[in-house]
A and B are shown apart, each in its own frame.
Chain A
Amino acid sequence: MPLYIAKRLGQAVFILIGITLVTYVLLYLVPADPVRQIAGRSATAETVESIRRQLGLDLPLWQQYLRYLGNLLQGDLGRSYIQKTEVTTLILSRLPATLQLLAGAIVVELLIGLSAGIFAATRRGRASDRVVMVLSFAAVSAPQFVVGILLLYVFSVQLGWFPIGGYGTFSHLVLPAVTLGILGGGWYARMSRSSMIEVLGQDYIQTARAKGAAERRVVFVHAARNAALPVIAMIGLDIGIFMSGAVVVESVYGWPGIGQLAWQAIQRVDIPIIIGVTLVAACAIVLGNLLADLAAPFIDPRIKLR
């Protein structure tokens, strides 16, 4: 296992460096000049060029990239072009909120997804199965902005059960986590349903039933564990996706996560922040995948890590 982890982490480093290169080049190619954004409207041509020189953006691309990489390897993500604040500070300040939202969303997803999926699979073909499938379809299709505003309006503004957006307490977390979790929940419902149906058709399930095991034990102890495998793998990916920021949900609820930071940075072509956030998301995806892979053998002993 330790060898496996070491190998994967080694791969991860290469992947991450590759990502910085691709991102850097892409941003360079985008026809938007970050210096113009910084210099603003009234700057003279001299001021613009002066700022360009100060930031080293007049150097050839490869030199700029190597400088960036050099700093990165020392833990320096640079400073925002517009704010001059260190990118690490900006990202770290938003990390707690993002992690909270991520955790909350995953809990909601799993709750909704697994229970709905398993429920539907055990009632396959019946009306309740169809209802669950339609609902999951709706959950996946509903635009997050609409869902978010609706939930906010109904539960916060009209009913007053939750605060109107914001961050800080558990009650602030509920609606954003639900909004974000509904989408994933819809996916997981379908996935776990299919997976469950397949598992329920397996020989060992028949054997368990033949041995007289209670249906409930068959479903929850034997079948669900195996049906959950693909879902667990997906969580790894989800962690990565959530870490890159749930821009829409953060926007609606005023949630101070990485999504807002990334969105603002993109608007202003604030390259150091954009690359920083991309890296964080990439790290999260790599780690998330690694965790999912590491967890798999515990759930299905047949799986061996190679």
Chain B
Amino acid sequence: MHRQLLLATALALPVAATPAVAPNALEDAKQGGSMIVTYKDDVSTLDPAIGYDWQNWSMIKSLFDGLMDYAPGTTELIPDLAESYELSEDGLTYTFKLREGVKFHNGRELTADDVKWSIERTVRPETQSPGQGFFGMIAGFDEVAAGDAKELSGIEVLDPRTIRFTLSRPDATFLHVMAINFSFAVPKEEVEKYGQDFGNNPVGTGAYRMTDWTLGQHVVFERNPDYYREGLPKLDQITFEVGQEPLVALLRLQRGEVDILGDPIPPAKFLEVMDDPEWSDNVVEGGQLHTGYVTMNVKMPPFDNKLVRQAVNHAINKERIIRIVNGRAVPANQPLPPAMPGYAEDYQGYAYDPEKAKALLAEAGFGDGFDTELFAMNTDPNPRIAQAIQQDLAAIGIRAELKSLAQANVIAAGGQEDGAPMIWSGGMAWIADFPDPSNFYGPILSCGGAVPGGWNWAWYCNEELDAKAAEADAITDPAKQEERLQMWREIYLAIMEDAPWAPVFNEQRFTMKAERLGGPDTIFVDPVHIPVHYDYVYANDVQ
């Protein structure tokens, strides 16, 4: 078995034009200073095995590290705790060499055993980790996930700085999984000491340490002086103030009391801020790995008829909907967002054409239209968007009753086979867990997701495409990545032909920050360290 040596710098992912080594600074900036970030909700948990919301995702990335990470402001994989790795020719074995001198916040040095234990912890059922399923490709997964074994047979520690993973199947997403929060290294002694309270007492290897958490009020991060990347983090301290209503937080930012709004700018104030020459420069815009779409339940007539679904695609006036959200989105014509590798640049999609839509409906035998229901989440602006969609449907003869409900109720309806004929995904729309096209498929478009309680609300199950997806994900040879992306492109275009979804828009992210903070725009709208890459923000007043 001859091994193929891959150095980290030769990692060939698409759009890999920039060097694949994490810069210690994106700009030559001095360390020091502090900032205040506001959020409405209390931080739920800082345990990397459990934290899975928009708010704590990036906070956890600043407290902990994994074998891999992404170059700041990009979707490009780079090694992090790992210094280098090797992939066997059959794509089944990854051997990582860890970097030296990485210390946990409690002073102990990290070893390969810690990496192994942390991943096993995530897979063990008693941890109740939402990310358990991501590790399914590691040999021994089934036994540990079922609670029959404590250790993953597929992870071997060769020496304190070398760890080897053996997979049960070649999986092109494996390196992304080694970069996801659920794989981050935690110190066993601290986890055992705190038990279920580890989420409130996080101890990791990251650029920041958590030094204070006053429930319901604030969380404080301080610089980790032993962090292995020279020059990072830039700031000495970050205070996350929680319980801050976005409107009030905006007023405080304008008064200079806080520095970054963690939540989106309230829709009611957005236009005012953008039109105000004093404040519009404080807003950074960036794309997200997000798509908002309407799902059509293919198991509920008449949405079992492809012509009807295509008609709906032609009926939706996306430009008008984007105006409803004050222009904070771009129209989408396919499931993948533009920033995602595998996005089909030249695809035209279904143009807005109500006449064509009516013709398709007539062809399907519904010349007189039909009655149906459109579900949506009840927080603004989703009901307004759903109303606009309702009007578009009415224009072609589809009379949709609006069902505006709490998020959990819409999710429950979507997970029932006969629960919801149409759902506007806003507020629950898909944002990628990692920047790979397969992440937009599994839970929301594959047969595996079309189960009771699943997230494939279109209940779309195409076994041929499932097989093709599995085949694409088995391509781990970096030289063949373009081929893999092409396969994914074809899969999504086939899905658009079948039209179980009507993609509507890709939301843009707008982060508002104070003048006194420095750093390239990309870190304030980082596509992976959402919403902000805290490690690289610096303070202008200490430069």
Contact = CB atoms under 8 A, between A and B. Distances in A.
A79 to B, nearest CB: 6
Contacts of A93: 214-216
Given A152-B248, A157-B251, A253-B248, A84 B45 contact: yes
Contacts of A107: none
A252 B248 contact: yes
A254 B244 contact: yes
A33 B45 contact: no
A5 B481 CA distance: 76
27 contacts: A31-B412, A32-B406, A33-B411, A33-B412, A36-B412, A39-B130, A40-B52, A40-B130, A42-B131, A42-B133, A42-B433, A42-B439, A43-B133, A45-B448, A45-B451, A46-B132, A46-B133, A51-B130, A54-B125, A86-B197, A152-B248, A152-B251, A167-B217, A254-B244, A255-B243, A264-B41, A267-B408
B199 interface: yes
B455 A41 contact: yes
A207 interface: no
B331 interface: no
Contacts, number: 147
A251 interface: yes
Contacts of A269: 408
A37 B408 contact: yes
Given A85-B199, A89-B215, A165-B244, A42 B130 contact: yes
B411 to A, nearest CB: 6
B145 A50 contact: yes
Nearest to A93: B215
Interface of B: 41-42, 44-45, 47, 50, 52, 125-126, 128-134, 136, 145-147, 196-197, 199-200, 214-217, 241, 243-245, 247-248, 251-252, 255, 257, 406-409, 411-413, 415, 430, 433, 439, 442-443, 448, 451, 453-455
B245 A84 contact: no
B132 A50 contact: yes
Nearest to A163: B257
A53 interface: yes
Contacts of A97: 216
B449 to A, nearest CB: 9
A84 B197 contact: yes
Given A32-B412, A267-B406, A47 B216 contact: no
B458 to A, nearest CB: 15
Contacts of A31: 409, 412-413
A168 to B, nearest CB: 9
B266 to A, nearest CB: 11
A269 B214 CA distance: 23
Interface in A16-35: 30-33
Interface in A249-286: 250-256, 260-261, 264, 267-269
Interface in A129-143: none
A127 B317 CA distance: 57
A38 B130 CA distance: 7
A44 B456 CA distance: 12
A97 B132 CA distance: 38
A152 B247 CA distance: 11
A42 B406 contact: no
Given A42-B443, A85-B196, 13 more contacts: A33-B408, A33-B411, A37-B408, A40-B131, A44-B132, A45-B453, A46-B145, A47-B145, A51-B125, A85-B45, A157-B251, A252-B245, A256-B217
Contacts of A89: 215
Nearest to A97: B216
Nearest to A55: B128
Interface string A72-101: 000000010011111001100110010000
Nearest to A91: B215
A250 B412 CA distance: 29
Contacts of B248: 152, 164-165, 252-254
A4 interface: no
Nearest to B124: A50
A48 interface: yes
Contacts of A45: 448, 451, 453-454
A149 interface: yes
Contacts of A55: 128
Contacts of A42: 130-131, 133-134, 433, 439, 442-443
Nearest to A79: B196
A153 interface: yes
A152 B244 CA distance: 13
Nearest to A92: B215
A31 B405 CA distance: 11
A267 B407 contact: yes
A-B pairs with lowest CB-CB distance, top 6: A32-B408, A256-B216, A44-B133, A40-B130, A93-B215, A50-B125
Contacts of B448: 44-45
A253 B134 CA distance: 40
Given A84-B45, A84-B196, A165 B407 contact: no
Given A45-B453, A152-B248, A260-B216, A85 B197 contact: yes
B408 A94 contact: no
Given A33-B408, A251-B245, A254-B243, A157 B255 contact: yes
Nearest to B247: A149
B44 A82 contact: yes
B126 A54 contact: yes
B251 A153 contact: yes
Nearest to A90: B215
A44 B455 contact: no
A20 to B, nearest CB: 21
Contacts of B130: 38-40, 42-43, 47, 51
